[in-house]
Structure 1
Amino acid sequence: MGTDTAATLTDGEPLGASRSERLSALAQQHGALVTLVVAMLVASLSFDTFLTGDNLENMALSSAFLAVVALGMTFVIITGGIDLSVGSLFALGGVLAAWGSRYGTVVALLLPLAVCGLIGLVNGLLVARSGLAPFIVTLAAMLGARGLLLALTDEGSRTYLVAKDSFFAKLGQDSLLGVGVPVWITLALFVLGAVVLRRTRFGQYVYAVGGNEDAAALMGAPVARTKVSVYALSGLCAGLAGALNAAWLVSGVTILGSGMELEAISAVVIGGCLLTGGFGYLSGTLVGVALLKVIQNVINQIGSLDSAYQQVVSGAFLAVVVVAQTWLGRRQRVL
């Protein structure tokens, strides 16, 4: 979005906006939530097993790991960037966590955070300080992280296991009030992330950089430091998600994470963030993740459809959302 539009937004709605502008802003902000409610209603009427406790718990758990990755991606996309390395960092984080679990829970958590956070930091430095395109930088990091993963696992032939009776495994498998611990961790991270994004100076810088980088620099915003920070955060989130996934599976599975970067980008965009930057919110990202998982679950419930249809439906839905966002953005500028 342009600077003027970004500057006049308060919680997603333009100040002094006309009724048409407010409706457009509401559609952009809450369209995914309405779609999610409708999709869940249709699924519950079509399949008796959809609203069962086991099915909802499985959807929540499978959503938690993608949601953590998408959290970091939200910050990156709001600045107008992109991070293609998160899928490989997710897999790498899981392997590092499983390997480190033999030395205790602290190592199992800190090792993937340190390595994946460092890779994210390097991505940020190359993007912000060297002026390289985020697409190229993070694509190189994706390939590099996947190569490091293969080197650690002897080309994928070695799988590191997590002791089932360890505290680290309990982080992934235990439940609290009937809800898996990874889900609670994810919700806590989203609350913290929302506070940072909406209520701190750093969050204001994130929006300013995405709205108009030159204007943000003129206003005194630390543009380069903000970019470096969001890419480092994205790496940390991907590493943490991988670690939690390893605790859940009690192993570091090497084949995971392929295509996860596209899922994360889809969830963020479906949730209302603009790929051009300057606009977005974490609650929308969470809804976007839930909507993707509901679509996948419905396809699985049908049974007669191949799992490849998940990607077809998700891709088609993302295309529709991007077209709708473009139309809404143009409508707001015209009005």
Structure 2
Amino acid sequence: MSVAKSRHDGGGSAPGEGGPAGPAKPAGAAAHGGTSTRADRWSTFAQRHGALVALLLTVLIASASFDSFAGAGNLKNIAVSSAFLAIVALGMTFVIVSGGIDLSVGSVFVLGGVLAAWGSKYGPVVALLLPLAVCGGIGLVNGLLIARARLAPFIVTLAAMLGARGLMLNITDEGNDTFLIAKDSLFADLGRGKLLGIGAPVWITLALFLLGGLLLRRTRFGQQVYAVGGNEDAASLMGTSVSRTKITVYAMSGLLAGLAGALNAAWLASGVTILGQGMELEAISAVVIGGTLLTGGLGYVSGSLVGVLLLKVIQNIINQIGSLDSAYQQVVSGAFLVVVVVVQTWLGRRRKARLTAPG
């Protein structure tokens, strides 16, 4: 990866959550005057806030088209159903910003739910810590193989996806056993409890995103994640531990996927074995729609949350229509992803052309 590409990925954005501060423009760029500056601002705005604009427009149109969409009950259902995918997408954000990919999160998610349901008979502590330990361990192994053995993230996490799914099937006798959680248990309150009329998973998700945003935006570790995703060689020369950063983000991804699975099991009061299929693609779509570059070096925690909400609102609208089946949800999500990647590529090329333009 060249230095120019690194600056395309991570440069030109505001310091912090969007990535490290970009390089100073060459003298020739100033010759374009206010036109270039306005173009830069619009490109940055589209990159970071395009998904939010799309979400607001979609909500307005849906509210005007369907009487029940804007009802408090429906909005709360969207929020709770978004919470579990959002937690998975939070971990995926760190992985993609670092230049990696994690295909195992869907299987790790369902494994976490099954382990939580199985462990609930031994108390809430076991129900929560068991999936965190196992799923975090899977993420840690992924990170070690990718960072230390230098194996391709696609292959490593694909193997982890198959392994986690196989472990779940072994625990549940090929999916024939479903472990139940007592609805009056303390652990079930994590998924079914409410605060101010809003489900506990929503509050947990908001707290995690707040912490994740601070970690990515305000800490040395967050800047290292951006640096590794922008250019590994340059990051290493600056003293960043590339291996440690990669191991950490994959361990975080596994840990958060396991937590999301455990909360989902508490919400459903059972460890459902058919969940998680395709969740890794949903998480990747949400992260990319939210403005994170697939090539790494640039991304937003807040954007990933908006991306999840946009996907879930679209799914809810399709359900409101009634005459469309769930297959259309996948079609629309795929179309959104293609459009966003095309726009990201176009904006990136324009930004790179402006930065390297002669006087």
TM-score bucket of the superposed structures, by smaller chain: over 0.9
Letter in 1 for 2:13: L
Q: Within the alignment, does 1:73 sit opposite 2:92 as a pair? A: yes
Letter in 2 for 1:9: S
Partner of 1:327: 346
Q: Within the alignment, does 1:96 sit opposite 2:99 as a pair? A: no
Q: Distance in 1 between matches of 2:216 and 2:183?
A: 37
Q: Distance in 2 between matches of 1:164 and 1:41?
A: 36
Partner of 1:184: 203
Partner of 1:113: 132
SS in 2 for 1:10: coil
Q: Within the alignment, does 1:151 sit opposite 2:154 as a pair? A: no
Is 2:105–2:253's contact at 8 Å kept on the other side of the alignment?
yes
Partner of 1:2: 5
Partner of 2:283: 264
SS in 1 for 2:178: coil
SS in 2 for 1:162: coil
Q: Distance in 2 between matches of 1:154 and 1:312?
A: 33
Q: Distance in 1 between matches of 2:284 and 2:53?
A: 20
Shift in Å, 1:9? 2.9
Alignment of 1:11-22 (within 5 A): 11=15, 12=18, 18-22=37-41
After TM superposition, the score normalised by the length of structure 1 is 0.98
Partner of 2:266: 247
- Could you tell me which runs of 5 or more consecutive residues in structure 2 were left unpaired when the two chains were aligned: 26-35, 355-359
Partner of 1:291: 310
Query: Which has the greater radius of gyration?
Result: 2
Q: Distance in 2 between matches of 1:244 and 1:207?
A: 29
Q: Distance in 2 between matches of 1:200 and 1:170?
A: 33
Shift in Å, 1:21? 1.1
Q: Distance in 2 between matches of 1:174 and 1:311?
A: 31
Is 2:115–2:131's contact at 8 Å kept on the other side of the alignment?
yes
Q: Distance in 2 between matches of 1:56 and 1:95?
A: 28
- Could you tell me which runs of 5 or more consecutive residues in structure 1 were left unpaired when the two chains were aligned: none
Is 2:103–2:157's contact at 8 Å kept on the other side of the alignment?
yes
Is 2:169–2:175's contact at 8 Å kept on the other side of the alignment?
yes
Alignment of 1:19-58 (within 5 A): 19-58=38-77
Query: Deviation per CA, 1:65-114, whole angstroms, max 9, x where unpaired?
Result: 00000000000000110000000000000000000011111110100000
Number of residue-to-residue matches in the alignment: 335
Shift in Å, 1:18? 1.6
Query: Deviation per CA, 1:126-145, whole angstroms, max 9, x where unpaired?
Result: 00011110000000000000
Q: Distance in 2 between matches of 1:202 and 1:230?
A: 10
Q: Identity of counterpart residues, as a percentage? A: 73
Query: Deviation per CA, 1:145-183, whole angstroms, max 9, x where unpaired?
Result: 000000000000000000111000011111101110000
Partner of 1:132: 151
Partner of 2:232: 213
